[in-house]
Amino acid sequence: MIGGPVFLREVLAQARRPRTYLFQTVFLGVLVLGLIPMYAQAIGIGKSRLAEQARMLFEWGAYLQLIILTLIGPALVANAITEEKGKNTLDLLLLTEAGPWAIVWGKFCSRLYSLLFLLFLTVPLLFALLTLGGVAARSILITMAILGGFSVLATGLGIFLSTVLKRTPGVLGVSYAVLVAVLGAPKLAQLPPAQQPLVSPLLDLAYVANPTWYYPTASLATEWWVAPAWNVTAGLALVLLAGLALPHARELERLLDIRRALEAFDRATFLLLRPGRLLRRLTGGGAAAADDGPRADPRPIGVMNPIYWKETNVNTVGRFKTWWRMNLAMLVGLLGSYALFQHELSNIEFHKVVAAVVTGFIVLLPTIIAASTVSREREDGTLDLLATTPLDCATYVMGKVRGIGRNIVFLAALPFVHVIIWIVGGVLDPTTLVFFALGIPVATAASIVQGIFVSLLFPTTLRAIVAAIVVVTIEAALPLVCCVPSFNLPLMAYYMVEPSQGLATALGQGPQGSFTLAKLFACLFSAGTHLGFLFVIYSLIRSDFDRYIGRAA
Amino acid sequence: MIETRYLTKQYKDLIALDKLNLTIDRGDIYGFIGPNGAGKTTTIRILGTLLRPTSGQAFVCGYSVNGQAKHIRRKIGYVPDEFGTYEDMTVTEYLEFFAALYEIKGKERQRVIHDVLELTDLSYKRDAQVDSLSRGMRQRLALARVLLHDPDVLLLDEPASGLDPRARIEIRELLKELRTMGKTILISSHILSELKELCNKVGIIERGQLLFSGPVEEILAKARSHDVVQVKVREGTDRAVEALRAHDLVARADVIDGDVIEVQLQETAQDHSLVASFLHERGFRLLLVREQEIDLEDAFMKVTKGHVA
C-alpha cells in the first residue's frame, strides 16, 4: 500500500513543491538558530556544567521540535482530502479500483513520511549533544519515539478531519485545538503528576529530559512509551475511521455542517437583544419582520469607505457570521474561568494568566483573520474585480483595518472589562487600565495590518494562515532572543497586571515603585514600537500596492 | 480605442504574447478567438491593467497601461472568465459596493443601479443573494456591475462560458443592446457562431501571435479562397463525380449528404461557374448549384494550425 499510486503521486508532488524544502529548511533553521547560542554558552565551562548545559540543550531542543511539529503538522496534512473534494477529484479517485482505504492510507503515509523526514533531519543535531555528555543515547531515541508518535497522531487527526470537514481552514483550526489540548490538557485538568506524562507528549518529553526531579516517580522510567503508544494507536484508529468515512464524505460534511444550527442560534439571540421584535413575534404581529430577521435593514453604504462597509456589513451579527460568535465564545470562556477557578479569583497570578491568555487571542485571532481576508478574495476571484476599479491603497487597507477592528472591538475590550471588574472587586490596581490602554489597542491594530500584509504576500488562504501563525510565534519568541517583549503582548499583559496597591503606594515602596515605573516605560515603548511597526508595514504595502493585489503583476 | 504595439508577455521560457499588434476602433465589437492557452486572457488582463507587459505598448482610450493604469480603470469594465462572488451580499448591495468603489454617490448611485438592473433584466432579483443566483444571472449581474460607471470599453473574457443555451442567448441579446449603446467591446469566446452574429471584427490568436485581425466578412472571404461548390444532379451522381474528378481544375469531388456532390476547385480555377457548365456539357441535369457556406468555425480552423502555446 505504501507504494500505491496515491502514495507515489503524493510523494512525487511533494518533492516538486518548493514549500516542502522550505518547511525542512525552516524547521532545521529554527532548531539550529535556537540551539547554537546555547551551544556557544557551553564552550569554556567545566565538565559537570557542560553536561548540565547539554541536557538543557537537549530538553529545549525537544520542546522546540514538538512545538514546530504542532505548528507544521496540521498545515502539512489539513488539505489532504479537502483539496481533492474542492477540485472534484475525490469522486474520480473513488471510482477507481483503489478504493477508500488505499486513498486514505496513501495520503496518510505520504504526509507522515514528510513529518518523519523532518524529524530525521534533526537526528545528527541531537546526537552531536552526546559529545558534551549529560545526555544518553537512549534518551535521544526515546525522544524521537515520542515525537514520532505525536507525528502519527497529528497526521491521523488531520486525515480524519480533512475527510469529514469541508474546508481546509476548519480542519486546520480543529487540528490545532485538539493537538494543543492533548499537549496541555493534563496540566490544566490537574491530573496527578505521575499520570501527566502518560497523556501528554510534552510532559513525557519533560520527564525524559528530567527523570530525577521533574516527576520523581520511579514507575515512569519504564512508562515513557505510554504516550507515544496511545498517540500511534489513536492516529491509526483515526486513519481507519477516515477510510470508513471517505465514501460518505459529502454526507458527513453536510451532517457536520453546523451552520444552520448556528444561524438559528444567531436568530434567537438577535431576537433576545431586540425585545420589541420578540414581543411582536410572540403576539403574532411581527411574523414577517421576524422571518427576515436581522437581515431586514442592512446599513446603506452612503459615503462610507466601501471596503469598511463590506467588511462590517457582511460580517456582522445580522449576517450570521462568525465574528460575534467568536466574541461570545471569548466572553463565555472568561466567565467560565471565573466559575472554574473560584478559589483563585483573589490571586493576582490568576488575573495575570487571564490577561495573558485573552491578549494572546487578541494578537492571534486578528492576525489570522486578517491573513485570510485578502487571500480569500484572491481565491474566489473578487480581488480581480476590485483591482480593475480605481481603488487605492489607503482606502483598501484602512477599510480592512477599520472593518476587522470593528468586528473584534468586543474581543479587544474584554481584558479591559476583566480588569475593571476586578478593580471594582478590589483585587487589581487602576494602573493596570493605563497599561492596557497603552498596550492593547495599538498592538491590535498592528496585528491586523501585519495579517493583511501576510495575506497580500501569499496566494492561498492556507499558506497565509500558516504564515501568520509563524509570524506571531516568532514575535512571541523575540523576548528569548533580544529581551524585548514589545511584540509578545501576552507577556506584556502578564506583567501589566498590577495588584491592588495603587500607583502612589507602589511609588513609595522603593523597588516596587521603580518596577511599576519601568512597566509604564515598557508600555510606552511597546506602543511606540507597534506604531513604528504599523507605519513600516503600511509603507511596505503602499510601496507596491498594485502588485500585492494582483494588479500589473 | 484599444491599440497594442508589439505587445509581448513572457513567463520565464513561455512566450504568452508575441509582438501583438491590435487596433480596435470606437464602437467596434471585437471577437477575440483562439485555442486555450493562445494568449486571449493574457491580452485582456494586460488591457485591464491586471498584468504588466514584458515589452511593447498597449493603449486603452489613449492611456498607456504602463504608467496610466489609474485613468484606464475609470474607462473600462472587466468581466473575468470566473465570476467572483461575495458571500452574504444581495444583488443591490453588490452593485452598491462597486458603485461606491467607482465613487458614484447619492441619488446618482441609486439611479445607476436601477438602470443597470433594468438593462440586465435583474430588477426582480434585486434583493436576492448573489451566491444564490444561477450562472446565467451571475453573468448578467457581472455585466450590470461593469456598466455602473458607464465605461467606454468593455473587456469580456469568455462571458458565455459554461452557460446553458437560454442563458447564452440572453447574454448575446444583452451584448447586442450594449452594441447599440456605442460601447467598444473586446470579447473572447469559444462559441464562434455567436461571435459571427455579434461582432463586426474578429482577431484570431494562436501561440501568442495574432494570425488575423479584421472585419468578419474579410476572414470569411479569406477562408473561402479555395472555392468549394456543392452541386446536385437529377441522376447519375456517381458518374458525375467520376467526371469531375477527371477535370484538371478540380482538386476534389465527393458525395456528401446522400446525393449532393462537394467540389473543391484548384487555386488556378477562375471561378466556380465552370462546374455547372462542365456538367451541363456532359448531359447532366442540374438541380442545385451553390457555394459552400463558410462560417467562423471553418475560418478559425483554416487560419489556426491547432498549436497551443
Summarised one tens digit per residue, pLDDT across range A159-191 is 999 999 888 888 888 999 899 889 887 877 777
Q: Number of Cβ pairs closer than 8 Å across A and B?
A: 81
pLDDT of the residue at A502: 54
pLDDT of the residue at A365: 84
CB B289 within 8 A of CB B229: yes
pLDDT of the residue at A405: 87
Q: What residues in B contact A321, CB-CB < 8 Å?
A: 88
Higher model confidence: residue A449 or residue A322? A449
Residue A297 — pLDDT band, cuts 50, 70, 90? low
pLDDT of the residue at A37: 66
**In this complex, is the C-beta atom of B127 within 8 Å of any C-beta atom belonging to chain A?**
no
Pick the CATH number of B2-222 from 3.10.310.30, 3.40.720.10, 3.40.50.620, 3.40.50.300: 3.40.50.300
The span from the CA of B58 to the CA of B149, in Å, is: 22
Higher model confidence: residue B58 or residue B228? B58
Using CB atoms, pick whichever of B50, B97, B102 lies closest to residue A384: B50
Interface pTM, i.e. ipTM = 0.75
**In this complex, is the C-beta atom of A551 within 8 Å of any C-beta atom belonging to chain B?**
yes
Region B192-215: what's the mean pLDDT?
83
Task: Tell whether the model's pLDDT for residue B179 goes beyond 70.
Answer: yes
Task: Tell whether the model's pLDDT for residue B168 goes beyond 90.
Answer: no
Q: Which of B88, B98, B139, B155 to mutate to test the interface with A (most CBs of A within 10 A)?
A: B88
Q: Cite the residue boundaries of each domain of chain B with CATH code 3.40.50.300.
A: 2-222
Gap from A297 CA to chain B (nearest CA, Å) = 11
Q: What residues in A contact B84, CB-CB < 8 Å?
A: 377, 380-385
**In this complex, is the C-beta atom of B53 within 8 Å of any C-beta atom belonging to chain A?**
no
Which range among A3-17, B236-250, B257-271 has the greatest average pLDDT?
A: B236-250
Which residues lie below 8 Å from residue A292, measured CB to CB, with a gap of 6+?
none
Residue A18 — pLDDT band, cuts 50, 70, 90? confident
- Give chain B's largest Cα–Cα span: 80
Task: Tell whether the model's pLDDT for residue A23 goes beyond 80.
Answer: no
Does the domain made of B226-291 have the CATH classification 3.40.720.10? no
pLDDT of the residue at A242: 93
Q: Which residue of chain B is at minimal alpha-carbon distance from A553? A: B51
Gap from B30 CA to chain A (nearest CA, Å) = 20
Q: Which residue of chain A is at minimal alpha-carbon distance from B11? A: A553
Q: Which residue of chain A is at minimal alpha-carbon distance from B99? A: A306
Q: For A222-243, what is each residue's pLDDT tens digit?
A: 677 888 999 999 999 999 999 9
Helices (H), A458-510: 461-482, 489-496, 503-507
Residue A513 — pLDDT band, cuts 50, 70, 90? low
Mean pLDDT (chain B, rounded) = 84
pLDDT of the residue at A210: 74
Region A148-162: what's the mean pLDDT?
94
Q: Which of A348-352, B69-73, B85-89, B272-276 has the lowest mean pLDDT?
A: B85-89
Which residues lie below 8 Å from residue A446, measured CB to CB, with a gap of 6+?
A530, A531, A533, A534, A537
Question: Contact B100/A301, CB-based, under 8 Å?
Answer: yes
pLDDT of the residue at B307: 43
> Strands, E, within B189-227: which ranges?
201-206, 209-215
Gap from B172 CA to chain A (nearest CA, Å) = 22
Q: Which residue of chain A is at minimal alpha-carbon distance from B53? A: A552
The span from the CA of B232 to the CA of B234, in Å, is: 7
Q: For B104-120, what is each residue's pLDDT tens digit?
A: 888 889 999 999 998 88
Region A261-275: what's the mean pLDDT?
75
Unique residue bearing C-alpha cell 465552370: B274
Rounded alpha-carbon distances, angstroms, from residue B273 to A433, B220, B234, B290, B294: 99, 20, 18, 10, 18
Gap from B274 CA to chain A (nearest CA, Å) = 57
Region A98-119: what's the mean pLDDT?
88
Task: Tell whether the model's pLDDT for residue B309 goes beyond 50.
Answer: no
